[in-house]
Amino acid sequence: MQTRTTMAPRLLTCWLCCVVALYSGTARSEWGFDATGGFTYDDNLSNAFEADERKGDTAAAVDLAGGYRQQLGDSTSLGLSLLGTSQSYLHYTGLSNIGLGARALLRTKFGLGAEAPWLALAAQGVYHNYHDDNLDGWSYEAGATLGKRFGDRWTVSGSVRYDAYVANSTPPVIIPGLSGSPYDVYGWNVGVQARFLATESDLVSLSYNWRTGTVTSVTEPDLEVLEYSDRVARTTIFGSPEIAYRINANTQTIGIAWSHTLGQHTAFNVAYAYRRSQADSELGAYYANVISITVSYSY
Amino acid sequence: MIAPPAARVAMLVCLTLPACALAARLSASVHGGDGKPLPNAVVVAAPEDGRLPPLTKTTEVVDQIDKEFVPYVKAVRAGSYVQFPNKDNIRHHVYSFSPPKKFELPLYSGTPAIPVLFDKPGIVKLGCNIHDWMLGYIYVAETPYFGKSARDGRVEVDQLPPGRYQVRVWHPLMQGSETATVQRVELRDETPTRVEWTLKLNPEYRPRRTPLPGEPGYR
């Protein structure tokens, strides 16, 4: 089993240097902290095509982000944040993980006022520890979002984003020619989102995201699916011995969310997303329903 | 020829007394459509004879504290200056697109050296280009006779010369126009003349300060 060099200490050092550099202009830097905690239910964690192979579970999830934002000019700011994530699954505890990473966000407004269009360029990397050499690894995201507020109640945005997950280790080869980690996935995303202030304190969001790239599915050993896969590994993450395999797929996600403010800094959020992945091959499509209930706090 | 001291005192008393005795008061009460007292309503009394005392140069203050404008509503007389001290340890970028006063104070900390002159009556809506949820109002009145309602919805305007006035009220969220609220009153003496308004309000749709889950805010 090969193990790639862990980048966590280097990333942390780099992040700390950037924060110190920003903090040196104390009066110009803005400290910020976001925390979101709650529960998420996904009825197809295994990304299974067959109904009897779908594995659903609930996770208690916490996301933390804290850092500084530097106003570089009248319209442009740069934010650097340290990220912490945690997911604890009730049943499939092998999927529980904690993560530590960093994010850079460059945001610029094209004009003056709340209705001026804005562009945000974001990049982040998070190291996830599953206590499983095959699953541990880095998730990366980089993308651009262009948004605009229309009147008092509507905000519309569109985004392009690249995501990747790079596992630390390569599992033993079980089928010659299908080497490499099936958990190494990547994809390009294009999304649009509309937000509507239904009341003074209730925000409703509708979103659509299209992703093309690779996904990991888990199934009982099945020679047929291996025809369409380029990477395969044994796994017992859902209890019984199964195989994880990687395929190319196009994934569409439609989401609706409701967020109710509980004061200047706190909000209660409920979100639902329907995700459908169509394999490039004859495997067909799988779908998932994801529901989350969270409370978010920002300071 | 110089008058003796007693005569001078008598003259002074004569000059002063009528003015004091004739100063009138206006006591207003403003409620929302739900019947609750309405703070931040500006009550203005405009003399029907159009006579106004000369303008004295004043400088008022609208602070920025914890990324909010304080006070949320400020009433000033036309011709007044307003300072915008930034009491946060970050920078703000104050602006207004409102016709009575379009201005911009680009990214700054501390107190800008030059205050802003508000010389045209009307309503000036304030914003911050960094923190979109920051919202404030300056009501620029054509007369010096105005007041802003407190938490109990009450406004006291005193030291008004007796006479006939048109009084009106304005609130940032009120439905309908300010001119529709005009009441004609005659103010005679110190006994407060009472006026009341009940205003139907619009919701206030501000950009959110709390970010959504998974999305970095820009507080």
Q: For the segment B178-208, what is each residue's pLDDT rounded down to a tens digit?
A: 999 999 999 988 788 999 999 999 999 988 8
Is residue A11 predicted with pLDDT exceeding 80? no
Window 137-166 of B, Cβ < 8 Å to A: none
Looking at the domain A8-298, which fold is it? Answer: Porin (2.40.160)
Q: Model confidence at A47, in pLDDT bands (50, 70, 90)?
A: very high
What is the residue type of B199? L
Which among A100, A87, A78, A82 is positioned nearest to A59, based on CA atoms? A87
Which among A205, A204, A201, A199 is positioned nearest to A264, based on CA atoms? A201
Q: Searching chain B, which residue's CA lies closest to the CA of residue A25?
A: B90
pLDDT of residue B12: 42
Distance, in Å, from the CA atom of A58 to the CA atom of A295, rounded to the nearest integer, reads 16
For A292, left (φ over 0), alpha (ψ -120 to 50), or beta?
beta
Cα within 13 Å of Cα(A294), Cβ side: 28
Q: How many percent of chain A have pLDDT more than 70?
A: 91
A261 in contact with chain B, both atoms CB, cutoff 8 A: yes
Q: Going by C-beta distance under 8 Å and a sequence separation of 6 or more, which residues neighbour residue A64?
A: A33, A34, A35, A83, A84, A85
Best residue in A141, A145, A293, A298 for a mutation probing chain B (most B CBs within 10 Å): A298
**A119-159 per-position pLDDT tens digit:** 999 999 999 999 999 999 999 999 999 999 999 999 999 99
pLDDT of residue A224: 79
Q: Which helix (H) or strand (E) holds B38?
A: none
Distance, in Å, from the CA atom of A64 to the CA atom of A86, rounded to the nearest integer, reads 9
Residue A97, CA distances (Å) to A28, A137, A156, B108 in order: 36, 11, 33, 43
Are A49 and A219 in contact, with CB atoms under 8 Å apart?
Answer: yes
Q: Which residues pair with B29 in a beta bridge?
A: B154, B196
Q: Which of A30, A34, A107 sits opposite B90 (nearest CB)?
A: A30
Q: Is A125 helix (H, G, I), strand (E, B) or coil?
A: strand
A44 in contact with chain B, both atoms CB, cutoff 8 A: no
Instruction: For residue A4, count other CB atoms closer than 10 A to its CB.
Output: 14
CATH architecture of B53-142: Sandwich (2.60)
pLDDT of residue B11: 41
A299 in contact with chain B, both atoms CB, cutoff 8 A: yes
First and final CA of chain A: distance in angstroms?
A: 44
Shortest Cα distance, chain A CAs vs residue B185, angstroms: 37
Q: How many percent of chain B have pLDDT more than 70?
A: 88
Distance, in Å, from the CA atom of B190 to the CA atom of B149, rounded to the nearest integer, reads 20
Q: Measured over all CA atoms, what is the biggest interatomic distance in chain A, rounded to whole angstroms?
A: 63
Distance, in Å, from the CA atom of B60 to the CA atom of B75, rounded to the nearest integer, reads 9
Model ipTM over 0.85: no
Entry pTM? 0.85
**B48-107 per-position pLDDT tens digit:** 999 999 998 899 999 999 999 999 999 999 999 999 999 998 999 999 999 999 999 999
Q: Searching chain A, which residue's CA lies closest to the CA of residue B133?
A: A114
Cα within 13 Å of Cα(A241), Cβ side: 3
Is residue A21 predicted with pLDDT exceeding 70? no
Indicate yes or no: CB of B129 within 8 angstroms of CB of A109: yes
Q: Which CATH superfamily groups domain B24-51+148-204? A: Carboxypeptidase-like, regulatory domain (2.60.40.1120)
| Chain B residues with CB-CB distance to A205 below 8 A | 212
What value does the CA radius of gyration of chain A take, rounded to a whole number of Å? Answer: 20
With vertex at residue A160, the alpha carbon angle to CA A154 and CA A165, rounded to the nearest 5 degrees, is: 125
Is residue A2 predicted with pLDDT exceeding 60? no
**A184-215 per-position pLDDT tens digit:** 999 999 999 999 999 999 999 999 999 999 99
B127 in contact with chain A, both atoms CB, cutoff 8 A: yes
pLDDT of residue A16: 59
Distance, in Å, from the CA atom of A17 to the CA atom of A223, rounded to the nearest integer, reads 50
Mean pLDDT (whole number) for A13-26 = 55
B130 in contact with chain A, both atoms CB, cutoff 8 A: yes
Q: Where are the domains of chain B?
A: 24-51+148-204, 53-142
pLDDT of residue A270: 97
Distance, in Å, from the CA atom of A59 to the CA atom of A4, rounded to the nearest integer, reads 28
What is the residue type of A65? A
